[in-house]
Structure 1
């Protein structure tokens, strides 16, 4: 480990000099100060040497705040799974559906699609608002405003007395979802040390599973009811989340990376000290490392704008982010989002379909926890490729099971394969996608990049939701498990694109990632390329 050059000064004087900002709050160019550079080298070396367990012990509060911010995703997850379960609720289908001979009351395909798509359309607006608002207000205040908006918009859905009003309510709820999903991976990746980046960003998928578990449990408990409370009680439960999260996030520190980017180094130092059990000297080294990376990026690009995402090497980073985000919709994930309805179409009874949906959500949670260990043992690229290949195989088998003569055994086989596909996604593709997305973008453009990447997700998801509903609905194509052929084909495209373009970012600091992209290193050579701690470009 390099030695920090501080022997000639008392520690207090050394700290004061490091904190010396100019009158605008900006610190001097760190690359011209050998002592500050030594601190930056030391800070980056410490992160590289730190193991996952050591990092967790030294930065417990960083983990807590990363998980708190990630937990805002529960609200989007809750609504997505809730809409998927509404179409399977007998009372809801009888109230708003049409009678189909042999299938009973069913929500028409166009309304199923509208229920699923309206929230995503609102979220599409939200993710584009997220970047500019976050760049101006910071991650904390943007999320706080979104939580206030969430509380207000739930009223529309809860008091809706028609599918039209419910669809409108979902669209308005979608706007804060977009703010949550754009900010959460960026904030989590910026406040935790290098060793924890994979695990802490992977908790976003765990939050998604928690939302699914709550919905599955509530709808299972209420699916026997024949009145309006079968769906109004689950809608009302959305109010459980925003206010407690708002209070917690008010207490959370702002990202030190965001503060440094806005010339607020002293506040950034206080945030670093709040995030870990570190000495002042070590906090100083972390701050110097952040300032060095921010200074390098500022010299290359200046003030961030949406257009910067599509210029030079940032275009490559934006394409990777968009492909990984959009790819979540093409590897069987939509089966998980409509699990209860899928199980019904696979031949299960309504009550048993709800039971399987609850089991599916709980298994997803276990898979998410397992992903923490996978991120410690394997690289991002490895997890993504093997997870995708596994699901391709399972989806093709699902299609085969649905194509042969249907018996009770084939029905159960389809249901089990649906659960296994969701489990694989929840342990590999789902969580590692958030890690890749949070690491790929430059620090300077991160708030904008995660927003645009999520927008690509919605651009892909909105038509795929319609396609998924069309494939499963008795009033549509009624394919049931044969949809595995289609999802298997789209997952194969995801695998090929990832093999060609997805780089390995594990064990790389944000400075190293910047250098690798700026040097235009091919994706398959990222892992083997050596970047020295002294290099700036």
Structure 2
């Protein structure tokens, strides 16, 4: 648990009351955000706006900003497409007819029937190709978003998604399917780079944790749809066993494109690009309780944007690796990369993991559907956790629990195997996925969205996600090698590997992860610029009148 830390200037006015009555109505139309630091009226309104956000509870924010929550969820739901394909590929390699069509014979079952498996190199290619495309996409996301904004960048990506699905759908070989996945990966990169940034910028402080955590729910929803589709088509003995699940991808882009077109642009992005009037309209659409409150929120944002502008000019990728921004970029990259080190790859290849643990094919698909449904429940619980506990607490305890479960999984897989140990491994795999979906997964997105400066956010989330792929691509190959019958075939003993990497993630987070709950973006900027140690963030007082 933590206590809310918010500095208050001795001369700051009571929140909600303008310090100079009617004066702002005369001055504001001619004032740019560059003038905010020198204008007493705007500074007082900025104080009011920030103090009001500090005072709002989670429930108050939800009631006042339902549309902000809706648009944040709409944007984060674009992640369902990356999730869908990731889970789909892992299910393809477990589909009987897919194995027979594209696989190699690895032996016979108890009834004398031939058993097939997709070769490890092709498993890795299928899992990695989309991530390679996404790696390209995340680097494109920052420059494109800085120019077009979050909305139009996402609309462009949704159009690309509709087009690239055709390649995978009509693929008649593993080569073409792999190429199709690579092309689909490019828009994924745009989605994953923009979603946490947009969600964190359109909701008030109290909602940042819950709304950015919905990225993990979108991931779980994609898993549920895939699990249900592949379970339904598992026993088909024709190409539609995998083509129908592939075609289901088309249900997402067009409806989302229409919704995103209707969504407001991030007011932070509009202010950074000098579109003050549009930013004010966006703030009102997102739930400003009155005209006065809208102007206070605008002044608060203008103040932060101007403080950051004085620290650096036009944002570039190189800025991410200079001065205090290097520390912020490192934290973002570590948070993203560590998602692969705490057992998440078991969740992403759950059906295949269950099969390798000794569970029948039909039961594996059923367990995968249960696993995906539990992931949504875990993510819903994470919304409550973000309100009750700090970011560090959730991340550290969640990681510690999974370290324990992963080593237990390894131990169970090391003893004499029978039906009981097979199901124990499957249950442990589900528990590991559940803990990840309720703790490290969602809270990582919250930490990522809060860590970067507003000025560099579009670039930072893109580079951070690139670090995720840099870690994931070789680890996917390692996980396939660990699980595949044509590889090392160690099944649950992979728990020793992922338990060790999760333990390293815990140690890194303990020493380097700062606490940013209940902090405005201005306060976070100041804390990083003062080079406050990570474990001192929550204890450091920042006055509402301080700019540096």
Aligned to 1:85: 91
2:154 touches 2:191 (CA, 8 Å); kept in 1? yes
CA offset at residue 14 of structure 1? 2.8
CA 1:277–1:268: 2 relative to 1, 3 Å = closer
Q: Return the match for 1:533 from 502, 526, 544.
A: 544
* Counterpart-to-counterpart distance in 2, 1:420 and 1:375: 20
Q: Return the match for 2:164 from 142, 149, 153.
A: 153
* Counterpart-to-counterpart distance in 2, 1:345 and 1:155: 32
CA offset at residue 2 of structure 1? 2.7
* Counterpart-to-counterpart distance in 1, 2:463 and 2:304: 23
Aligned to 2:55: 49
Q: Return the match for 1:17 from 27, 41, 56.
A: 27
Secondary structure in 1 matching 2:237: coil
Aligned to 1:453: 464
CA offset at residue 108 of structure 1? 0.3
Q: Return the match for 2:174 from 163, 166, 179.
A: 163
* Counterpart-to-counterpart distance in 2, 1:438 and 1:249: 20
Aligned to 2:148: 137
Tell me if 1:184 matches 2:195. Answer: yes
Q: Return the match for 2:483 from 469, 472, 476.
A: 472
Aligned to 2:311: 300
Aligned to 2:214: 203
Instruction: For residues 14-39 of structure 1, give each alpha carbon's deviation from its aligned partner in whole angstroms, at most 9, with x where no partner exists.
Output: 33522324xxxx44421111110000
TM-score (norm 1): 0.98
Aligned to 2:3: none
Aligned to 1:114: 125
* Counterpart-to-counterpart distance in 2, 1:8 and 1:299: 27
* Counterpart-to-counterpart distance in 1, 2:145 and 2:444: 22
Aligned to 1:226: 237
* Counterpart-to-counterpart distance in 2, 1:358 and 1:174: 24
Aligned to 1:398: 409
* Counterpart-to-counterpart distance in 2, 1:164 and 1:19: 59
2:13 touches 2:19 (CA, 8 Å); kept in 1? no
Tell me if 1:498 matches 2:504. Answer: no
1:20 touches 1:27 (CA, 8 Å); kept in 2? no
Tell me if 1:65 matches 2:75. Answer: no
CA offset at residue 101 of structure 1? 1.1
Aligned to 1:127: 138
Aligned to 2:270: 259
Aligned to 1:435: 446
2:288 touches 2:294 (CA, 8 Å); kept in 1? no
Instruction: For residues 471-525 of structure 1, give each alpha carbon's deviation from its aligned partner in whole angstroms, at most 9, with x where no partner exists.
Output: 0000000000000000000001100100010000100000000000000000000
CA offset at residue 43 of structure 1? 0.2
* Counterpart-to-counterpart distance in 1, 2:538 and 2:486: 50
Instruction: For residues 83-133 of structure 1, give each alpha carbon's deviation from its aligned partner in whole angstroms, at most 9, with x where no partner exists.
Output: 000000001010000010146110000000000000000000000000000
Secondary structure in 1 matching 2:398: helix
CA offset at residue 7 of structure 1? 6.5
Instruction: For residues 369-421 of structure 1, give each alpha carbon's deviation from its aligned partner in whole angstroms, at most 9, with x where no partner exists.
Output: 00000000000011000000000000000000000000111001000000000
Q: Over aligned residues, Cα RMSD in angstroms?
A: 1.1
Secondary structure in 2 matching 1:527: helix
Answer with 277-286 or 441-450: which moved more.
277-286
* Counterpart-to-counterpart distance in 1, 2:33 and 2:54: 25
Secondary structure in 1 matching 2:538: coil
TM-score (norm 2): 0.96
Secondary structure in 1 matching 2:105: strand
- Mark the runs of 5 or more structure 1 residues left unpaired by the alignment: none
